[in-house]
Structure 1
Amino acid sequence: MTTQTAGDLLRHWRQERRLSQLELAGRADTSARHLSFIETGRSTPSRAMLAHLCEQLEIPLRERNRLLLAAGYAPAYAEPALDTPAMDAVRGAMRLILTGHEPYPALAIDQGWRMVDANRGVALLLTGIDPTLLTAPVNTLRLSLHPDGLASRILNLAEWRAHLFARLTRQIEVTGAAELVELREELRAYPGGETDLVLPEPDQSVVPLRLRHDGADLSFLSVTTVFGTPMNVTVAELAIESFLPADQDTQKRLTAALA
């Protein structure tokens, strides 16, 4: 496989963002000629210039490290494992949010949609799921759309599937992560595959998750939370998915179940 230079990577991300050299040069307050020289390897950019260009292109932190390494510089952003002492404060913050969200479901995921933590509300909804789908690391998209997972219980499956595929596709466009492309291909092979866009009802504000559980129909509104101003790769790739009751019946049933 051909080794990619810093210029190759920079060109890739500029093209991903659909910017010409002139447009990026204008944003970065440099010349298109200098930018062209960087991309072709005729000019060696400083670490500060690369960091500035990464910022203008909104390149994910993990990929910024890769670009810096390709240019011969040390990575700028640490990538600590979530279970290390350096991440104690982050894990504690996640646990506070997840616990405080009970009795309603909430879980933390990484960039690959792997579950890294969850509260009791999530565990309640996973009873009866195929154990192989609950073997760590649990992929939440696979768990949601697999026929042996939650898919058979989701009452508005076509609508929810379209919502998840739209989110995943946007994430692929932003990050360029190969593992997400592979995941999307796997999900497309599930019964039903990828659906076309489902138009909302005239009075619909968000896509709900309507789930059949223990003989009752539950309805949730989902909220995604990320950490502000992340300064390492691990934190930048974490998100908390919270599910709030969309009606009083759902609220009452979950409150009673975890009382």
Structure 2
Amino acid sequence: MTRQPAVGELLRGWRERRRLTQLSLSLQADVSARHLSFIETGRSRPTSEMILRLCEELDVPLRERNALLLAGGYAPAFPDHGLDDPSLDAVRSALRQVLEGHAPNPAIVIDQHWNLVDANSGLQVFAESVSADLLEPPINVLRLSLHPNGMAPHIVNLGEWRAHLLTRLERQVTQTGDRAAAALHAELAAYPGGLDSEATPQPHDVVVPLRYRHADQELSFLSMTAVFGTPLDVTVAELAIESFYPADAATAKFLRSL
């Protein structure tokens, strides 16, 4: 039987992931370094309030805060409703308003593992030429983007776009320690396409564009990510909206013609 890590071990792991010393964390959390050391080594049992205080300073995701509370012998503090739960009606409505208001520009809602939750009609611009099996739920938008049977053959700056997406995913793995995200990164990194080191963004660049070949026209997009500002539910905290805006007049004109 696998031994479950104690709450002190888990807290130490998050502190080390954030590259903080015990002294620096103790100063941030207004707790003595000696007491923090006792917590991490298991010599002292933290209260639920102390666990949550340390989690706040360490910017631990809500799902993992619940796991830390359980490891400490306490009940979870944050609800985890399914997105179809009536309590999230307002959340679903807000997401749908954003998606519909963004049309005809593409916009999608994704979960913490980049699985598609919802999308507006603009997504069809990217989905028309991809393999049908990649559109079978659950649709992973990173896999859809970089798979050789997906969008990849139509991305003009594939090396640059791959580098952008893999860097974002690698940063997520580093910040969260999420094993599923790490497995996804390993899968995507093994796809053909390379990383365009010569296309590394320069100081004068504004953003990394997505340059996409649609039929006989090259479209150019800028992407933006939005999240809920004050989530108290695990599901809501893990949602993000990825919006694509036309980066030139020709792309804007094409989208308006749809």
Query: Structure 2 length normalisation: TM-score?
Result: 0.96
Per-residue deviation at 1:153? Answer: 0.3
Deviation at 1:202, TM superposition (A): 5.9
Partner SS for 2:218: strand
Question: C-alpha separation between the residues in 2 aligned to 1:203 and 1:249?
Answer: 23
Match of 1:182 in 2: 183
Give the Cα separation in 2 of the matches to 1:221 and 1:30.
44
Q: 1:83: Cα distance to partner?
A: 1.4
CA contact (8 A) 1:187 1:193 kept: no
Indicate the residue corresponding to 2:216 in structure 1.
215
* Alignment partners' CA distance in 1, 2:207 and 2:117: 26
Q: 1:45 to 1:202 in 2, by over 3 A?
A: closer
1:56 and 2:57 are equivalent in the alignment: yes
Q: CA–CA distance in 2 between the matches of 1:197 and 1:48?
A: 49
Could you list the runs of 5+ residues in structure 1 that have no partner in the other structure?
none
Per-residue CA deviations over 1:100-154 (Å, capped at 9, x if unaligned) read: 0000000000000000000000023211310110000100000000000000000
In structure 1, the residue matched to 2:5 is 4
Q: Deviations over 1:164-220 (max 9, x none)?
A: 011111111121110000000000111135565842256421000000002110000
Q: Shift of residue 88 of structure 1?
A: 1.1
Show structure 1 runs of 4+ deviating over 6 A: none
Q: Which deviations, in whole Å up to 9, do the C-alpha atoms of 1:4-41 show, x marking residues without a partner?
A: 11001001001101111111111111111100111111
Identity of aligned residues (%): 56
* Amino acid paired to 1:207: V
Q: Counterparts of 1:11 and 1:207 in 2: how far apart (Å)?
A: 36
Counting only pairs closer than 5 Å after superposition, residues 162-241 of structure 1 correspond to structure 2 as 162-193=163-194, 196=197, 198-201=199-202, 203-241=204-242
Q: Would you say 1:84 and 2:121 are equivalent positions? A: no
Counterpart of 1:119?
120
Q: Cα RMSD over matched residues?
A: 1.3
- Corresponding residue for residue 128 of structure 1: 129
Q: Specify the alignment match of 2:148 in structure 1.
A: 147
Q: What 5-or-longer segments of structure 2 have no aligned partner?
A: none
Mapped contact 1:102–1:119 kept (Cα < 8 A): yes
Indicate conservation of the 8 Å contact 1:162/1:197, yes or no: no
SS at match of 2:137: coil
Distance 1:81 1:129 in 2: 29
Cα separation, 2, equivalents of 1:193 and 1:64? 37
Partners of 2:166 and 2:189 within 8 A in 1:
no
- Select between 48-57 and 188-197 the one with higher mean Cα deviation: 188-197
3-state DSSP class of the match of 2:257?
A: helix
Preserved contact between residue 188 and residue 194 of structure 1 (Cα < 8 Å): no
Q: Normalising by structure 1, report the TM-score.
A: 0.96
The amino acid of 2:255's aligned partner reads L
Q: Secondary structure at the match of 1:142?
A: helix
Is 1:34 matched with 2:42? no
> Residues 125 and 214 of structure 2 are in contact (CA less than 8 Å); yes or no, is this contact kept in structure 1?
no
